[in-house]
Amino acid sequence: MAGFDVTLAQNFLIALLIGALVGIEREKHKNNNHPGSFAGVRTYILFAQLGAVSAWLSVFLQSPWLFIAALAAVSVIVLSSYYLENKNNPVALGLTSELSAITVCLLGGAVIFGFAEIAVSLAILTSAILAFREPLHGLVSKIGADDLYAGLKLLIASFIVLPLLPNEAVDPWQALNPYKLWLLVILISGLSLVGYIAVRFFGSVKGTMITALTGGLVSSTAMTLSFARSSKTETDSGAANRLAAGILVSWLVMFGRVLLIVTAVSVPLMQQLLWPLLGLALLTAGLATAFFLAGHRLQALSAADVSVKNPFSLWSAIQFALLFALVLLLVKLAEHYAPGQGVYWLAALAGLTDVDAISLSLADYAGRSQAVDLAATAIGIAILSNSLVKTAMVWVVGTQTLALRITAAMFALGLVGLLLFRFS
């Protein structure tokens, strides 16, 4: 049909669907909880249509007042309905449905104004917030004052302090970047908080494993430190085995990260490292499983309630970041003043802080020089060095019970790793 605007029709349809999406949830809530409450699915669709039509007329007539007037009319209608309903039934009523109606009107207008993607995303989020009423209320009931303060501290550290720091090296050796060091503080603190939340809401066993897997994707070192600190606050009978399993799971993820990094840069080096890393991964998975099952069994036998404290501590994270900065500086000084000590010494030093960076550098070196055997051995040294440092962290920060388990695992991994890299 001539003159038919397909895009405009599509936008009107999106606006109506937004109204239907929110309206369906409100209709179900109305039928199940408040039969006489405000609005249903048809009313929400009409509110979305009103917002869309008023926005279209505002654009067509180049006057925002039509949309503003429509929004004001919707606000008067829903607030009057709330007043009358509360007057006839004087109980504690929320404004959720009324505010949802105003939101739907705004989202319908946003679609016509050219923000369809954002409007749809916000409509889905609105429906989710409305639908998950009970879980959200349960979540709030479990949040204590310490948890709230910890979250606020993390937000301040992330969105107020971090942007103020310079994102460049401030020392002559180009080793210390305040922005990245503070980002490490946030990472460690955030992982501690995430782990605590996971344990609170998924249970000790599931929460620990979920945190270990996701945290290991970011930093197995930070994850090790976080679990080591948690061993001081989690005192149930299975805590040491459970946290040891979590630490080893994060190490397992580290092996996968190294293999992916090497594969992206040098396929020959990946082929050289495949069996050693696969062997270490299988052994790590086996040890983690053994600790997991032992921890699960001990926890099941324990009749005492487990009291989990929030392990969030910015100061502890800052202390680790300062130690990390010192090691970074030592590595840079070694590179600058003792470059002739060889690739192996460099790998051992670099592995004290991070395995990913040295793995990437050695993969690039192997691709340029064809020194695949040398690069593979150096990566093995870096992994061993990194694992030793993480084991030392557990001894310093965690309990002796956890440290003994990690040391035993480290000894087994080191012995098997030496054999695999020697004969690969």
pLDDT of residue 358: 77
Looking at this protein, which amino acid is placed at residue 28? K
146 to 151, 176, 306, 309: CA distances (angstroms): 9, 32, 18, 9
Is residue 222 a contact partner of residue 188, using CB atoms and an 8 Å limit? Answer: yes
Q: Determine phi and psi for 114, rounding to 5 degrees.
A: 105, 15
Q: CA 372 to CA 66: how far, in whole Å?
A: 71
DSSP 221: H
Position 1 scores a pLDDT of: 46
Residues 165/184, Cβ–Cβ less than 8 Å: no
Number of CB atoms found within 10 A of residue 128's CB: 11
> Which pairs count as long-range contacts for 391-397, CB under 8 Å and 24+ apart, including other chains?
393/221, 393/224, 393/225, 393/228, 393/320, 394/224, 394/228, 394/247, 396/228, 397/225, 397/228, 397/229, 397/232, 397/316
Could you tell me the sign of the dihedral formed by the alpha carbons of 233, 236, 239, 241, in that order? positive
What tokens appear for 119 in the block?
Answer: 């409007």
pLDDT, position 305: 40
CB-based contacts of 422: which residues, under 8 Å, 6+ apart?
none
pTM: 0.58
What was the pLDDT predicted at 285?
94
Instruction: Show pLDDT as tens, one digit a residue, over the chain (424 residues).
Output: 456 788 889 999 999 999 999 888 888 877 766 655 566 788 899 999 999 999 999 998 888 899 999 999 988 988 887 777 777 665 555 677 788 889 999 999 999 999 999 999 999 998 888 888 777 766 666 677 777 777 888 888 888 899 999 999 888 877 788 998 888 788 767 766 776 676 666 665 666 777 777 777 667 887 888 888 888 887 666 788 889 999 999 899 889 888 888 888 788 888 999 999 999 999 999 999 999 888 766 554 443 444 455 556 677 678 767 766 776 676 567 656 655 456 788 788 878 777 877 787 777 777 766 778 888 888 899 899 999 999 998 998 889 999 999 999 999 999 998 888 877 6
pLDDT at residue 412, as a whole number: 94
